Amino acid sequence: MAISTSLWSFALVVGLLTLTPGLDTTLILRTSALGRRRRAWGVVLGIQSGTLVWGALTSLGVTALLTASHLAYTALRWAGAAYLVWMGARMLRDTFRGASPAEAGGPGPVSGKDSVAGGWRQGTLTNLLNPKMGAFYVAVLPQFVPAGASHLATGLLLTSVHILIGLLWSAALIGFARVLNGWLRRPQARRLLDRITGTVVAGFGIRLALGD
């Protein structure tokens, strides 16, 4: 398989994966729709930083050890599940206190400054605490490395393709979320968004804990 063929084939696979609605899409849309554009881009950069780490570790063969170790994989899975359930529960709790985190300025995933750094930490943690990302890369990435090619160099090149697609899709999501910003100026709409997002995020955490 030529490297150009590998790139296009891998781009198709990860492109379909990126377009599939999931946790990343939910976090980016919610953060951006609340008017936190800097934080939204921070979330995007954090998610892609996590993708780069998973791609690099897979290219070095490290993630194969993770997926082979039942104890390590289970520990990471439970840590990720706990983080997501905690995040979702905080969103839901704050809405039933009469104000969403964004309105009240209290603790919450998008409270405080509209900063890239805060979003980056959230996006990175969300990605790195998801062992399914590591399992995906272990199962998929080696299949697109041509025989005789450097695993590290080719793996990082393929990962870069995934990151580029993710950035383009995220830019489209952030642009779309601007349309919702006017509607979300109403407190009731913000609470509704936080309740939906909190439920989705906590649901992902429960699914991860159950190993689905």
Question: Over the stretch 6-15, which tens digit does the pLDDT of each residue have?
Answer: 899 999 999 9
pLDDT for res 1: 60
Q: Which residue has the tokens 């950035």?
A: 167
Going from the C-alpha of 135 to that of each of 70, 84, 110, the distances in angstroms are 12, 19, 29
pLDDT for res 113: 67
- What are the residue ranges spanned by the domains of the chain? 3-95+109-210
Instruction: Tell me the per-residue pLDDT of 54-85, one tens digit each, with 9 for 90 and over.
Output: 999 998 888 777 667 777 778 877 887 888 88
**Taking the chain (212 residues) in consecutive chunks of 10 residues, what is each chunk's mean pLDDT?**
83 89 86 86 96 92 74 79 85 71 43 79 91 84 86 93 96 86 71 82 82 62
pLDDT for res 122: 92
Please give the Cα distance from 99 to 190 (Å, whole number): 9
pLDDT for res 102: 46
